[in-house]
Structure 1
Amino acid sequence: MRILLLSAYDAHSHRYWHQGLIKHCDDHDFTLMTLPPRYFSWRIRGNSMSWAFGKDRALLSQPYDLVIATSMTDLASLRGFLPELASTPTLLYFHENQFAYPETNNVHASVEPMMVTLYAALAADHLAFNTDYNRHTFLTGVDRLLHKLPDHVPVNLVEQLRQKSSVIPVPLPAHCFTSHREHNNQGALRMVWNHRWEYDKGPDLLLAILNTLESMRVDYIIDIVGQQFRQQPSAFKVIKDKFAHRIDRYGYLTHADAYRQCLNQADVVLSTADHDFQGIAVLEGVAAGAIPVVPNRLAYPELLDTTYCYTGTTQKEETKAAAIRIAELAQLKQSKQLPTAPDISHLSWDHIQHQYCSLMADLTAIKKHLHQ
């Protein structure tokens, strides 16, 4: 099967997914085309023009059995610009959706990305979401947007999108899983916070939790690692200055082995995110043996038992709930009774590969049926 794989805003999580897809579906012939993850507004609006009228037009015009594109791809325009793709079955994969980003500090707050994604979804033959939370927030967002439009809005669009959608997570590669790891019951509770250093990952909540742990006299060590950018939320400097005595690793770990060692040493993996559509960073920590402490919102309740989720309707309530849970785990470690991490092997490529293969086969059967 010849597959054209398009990643229009090739961020780390998107590369993580398509590299795994190509590796684990190696009986197919993939042609991968990507655009760099910068200049967001231009990229999401202009990717179809960049591809269709750029140096790769001839490559795009080759005969393919299937097109797989990320949801930031302007698929509707691309199929219009390239008639060769108009009759090719298409799968649109959603790592995230433009309707569910927090409004505060959202530099992408515009209806334009929403409309591009909506048109792409309408143009695609099938939509796959990494979690049901992602699908639900997308469909809810589309419905809300359509109700704001003044007239001539087609009916049942949301239901049409729902009926041609499914949920297939981004699988974790085999190297993420540490079999039967026993926690080191010596010393302080060791935590890791391993997310992008941006506002949507909740650095203010992280600061509030650390302040509360300090007031509770909880004994802990924390690694604060993840992808960094030139501009960072001010909370990180406060955390670095105020909690230097608690911090072991701080900053981006450039080597994969160093990152895996960090996760393998952690007792707890902590999320304070305002949005996570699947939470790969947390899942990598859990696969390595760390106990998740995550918000009872976003995608986490469908991926992990709710006993690992802290609840609250305000930051103050979430801070208290997370700190109490961490304090409990610190006490369990002192008494050498720290539980093992949950088993998430069902999120590995070994378990999910067949879902991708089946979906791709079903979509290519559409083309064969139409030409019979």
Structure 2
Amino acid sequence: MLFLEPFFGGSHQDFATGFTAHSRHDITLLTLAPEYWRWRMRTASLNFLQKINQVRDYDLVFATDMMDVAQFKALAGPDCPPLVLYFHENQMSYPLSAKARQRKPDMDAGLINVNSALAADQIWFNSHFHLSAFLKEVRHLIKQMPAPRPKNMVDQIQKKARVVYPGCRFPSTPDTLASAAQTSPLIIWNHRWEYDKQPDLFFKVLVRLKKRGILFGLAVLGEKYDRYPAVFDQARERLDNEIQVFGYEPSRKTYEKWLAAGQVVVSTAIQENFGISVVEAVRFGCFPLLPCRLSYPELMPEKLHPDIFFRTENQLVEKLSFHLQQPRACVDKRNELSRHMQAFSWEIRALEFDDLLETIT
């Protein structure tokens, strides 16, 4: 099988390396650096085709969303084997930043996603939420098109679409998680340093807790880029006494130790199609406090939804205050959630991937 990853960084890199390491199939992985994403959308297929001697030497192509699959199949010609397209994200439902909203909408990347979905033999999405959001945007896109509008686009996509959850890098057996029973009041924030994770709300809540005199530690572990929201620098000054680590941790072992030391993991995201960072933290013993939206509800056991989800800033303040002041109150629920996340380990998820791929001819 040929695996094409045009944006080999962050969660895309974790997915590609995790799958290739755990699959029982023989996989050739071709990648491009995680930069210039708009150019990747337009030209990744050209780069990959120059690296491939004979595409017919492979029985299947597995590609992710940041490339033009229709272009790849057209240029590969009749020798192109069946192609599975995996959507980590899509460019139509991704929320625009305030600056981007001021510019004229750029539909090019979204159209590439749609054309890729139409060209692929199968389309896999990383959550039910993501699939639903994508189809909703396709319907909206069709309404904006001038007549004559293409027919049956949504049906064509829906017929070959399915949800296949990704795997995560963590132990698949509970006995490796002894350190996850710690109950120190440490808050974990392990998301990308970008506006779509809504860090402004997160830090605003922490400042409110600090003003109440509630003690806590803070581990900000997410990946950051050269340009990031100014609220992070402001938070470093206002929460200096609480911060224990502030920045991306390149050592996987050290990163996991921080997760195991955590009491609670918080997300305030307005964009999340799966949520690997939350699943990882919960697996290592953190209790999740999450917005009641996006992919999160389908990942968490329904009976614990009232404890996990918040709808307002004040609800998050109160739930987080409870966990910090009564750290032993939810130990059993934390352990139950950790076991629930076991299903997302690559050791388990790779089995479904492999079985599904063997059905494609």
TM-score (norm 2): 0.91
CA-to-aligned-CA distance 1:294-316 (integer Å, 9 cap, x gap): 1111110000142344333xxxx
Partner of 2:323: 329
Q: Distance in 2 between matches of 1:284 and 1:106?
A: 32
Paired residues of 1:63 and 1:84 also in contact (CA < 8 A): no
CA-to-aligned-CA distance 1:200-221 (integer Å, 9 cap, x gap): 1111111211122123332211
User: Aligned runs of 1:205-284 on 2, under 5 Å?
Assistant: 205-284=201-280
SS in 1 for 2:209: helix
SS in 1 for 2:58: coil
Q: Distance in 1 between matches of 2:330 and 2:73?
A: 58
Residues 1:8 and 2:6 aligned together: yes
Q: Distance in 2 between matches of 1:198 and 1:184?
A: 29
Paired residues of 2:43 and 2:67 also in contact (CA < 8 A): no
Q: Distance in 1 between matches of 2:320 and 2:310?
A: 13
Q: Distance in 2 between matches of 1:66 and 1:157?
A: 24
Paired residues of 1:294 and 1:308 also in contact (CA < 8 A): no
**Superposition deviation, residue 183 in structure 1:** 3.2
Partner of 1:291: 287
Residues 1:99 and 2:96 aligned together: no
Q: Of 110, 113, 116, which residue of structure 2 is paired with 1:117? A: 113
Q: Of 17, 20, 25, which residue of structure 2 is paired with 1:19? A: 17
Q: Distance in 1 between matches of 2:136 and 2:239?
A: 40
Paired residues of 2:169 and 2:345 also in contact (CA < 8 A): yes
User: Aligned runs of 1:40-79 on 2, under 5 Å?
Assistant: 40-52=37-49, 54=50, 56-59=51-54, 61-79=55-73
SS in 2 for 1:32: strand
SS in 2 for 1:128: strand
How many aligned positions are there? 349
Q: Distance in 1 between matches of 2:137 and 2:278?
A: 26
**Superposition deviation, residue 175 in structure 1:** 3.2
User: Aligned runs of 1:122-133 on 2, under 5 Å?
Assistant: 122-133=118-129
Counterpart amino acid of residue 95 in structure 1: H
Residues 1:303 and 2:302 aligned together: no
SS in 2 for 1:223: strand
Gaps of 5+ in 1: 365-372
Paired residues of 2:8 and 2:34 also in contact (CA < 8 A): yes
SS in 2 for 1:356: helix
Gaps of 5+ in 2: none
CA gap of 1:351–1:307, structure 2 versus 1, over 3 A, is farther
SS in 2 for 1:113: helix
Counterpart amino acid of residue 353 in structure 2: Y
Give the superposed CA RMSD.
2.0
SS in 2 for 1:362: coil
SS in 2 for 1:29: coil
Q: Distance in 1 between matches of 2:293 and 2:273?
A: 10
Q: Distance in 1 between matches of 2:350 and 2:96?
A: 35
Q: Distance in 1 between matches of 2:201 and 2:216?
A: 17
User: Aligned runs of 1:131-146 on 2, under 5 Å?
Assistant: 131-146=127-142
SS in 1 for 2:358: helix
**Superposition deviation, residue 352 in structure 1:** 2.2
Paired residues of 2:189 and 2:219 also in contact (CA < 8 A): yes
Paired residues of 1:48 and 1:73 also in contact (CA < 8 A): yes
CA-to-aligned-CA distance 1:273-322 (integer Å, 9 cap, x gap): 1211111011110011111111111110000142344333xxxx3x2111
**Superposition deviation, residue 231 in structure 1:** 1.2
SS in 2 for 1:363: coil
Paired residues of 1:183 and 1:267 also in contact (CA < 8 A): no
CA gap of 1:106–1:345, structure 2 versus 1, over 3 A, is farther
Counterpart amino acid of residue 16 in structure 2: H
Q: Distance in 1 between matches of 2:236 and 2:205?
A: 14
Partner of 2:350: 353
Task: Report the more deviating stretch, 9-18 or 91-100.
Answer: 9-18
Counterpart amino acid of residue 123 in structure 1: A
Paired residues of 2:323 and 2:329 also in contact (CA < 8 A): no
Q: Distance in 1 between matches of 2:191 and 2:174?
A: 20
Counterpart amino acid of residue 11 in structure 2: S
SS in 2 for 1:226: coil
Residues 1:36 and 2:29 aligned together: no
Q: Of 162, 168, 171, which residue of structure 2 is paired with 1:175? A: 171
Paired residues of 1:176 and 1:288 also in contact (CA < 8 A): no
Q: Distance in 2 between matches of 1:262 and 1:46?
A: 39
SS in 2 for 1:320: helix
Task: Report the more deviating stretch, 101-110 or 246-255.
Answer: 101-110
CA gap of 1:177–1:288, structure 2 versus 1, over 3 A, is farther
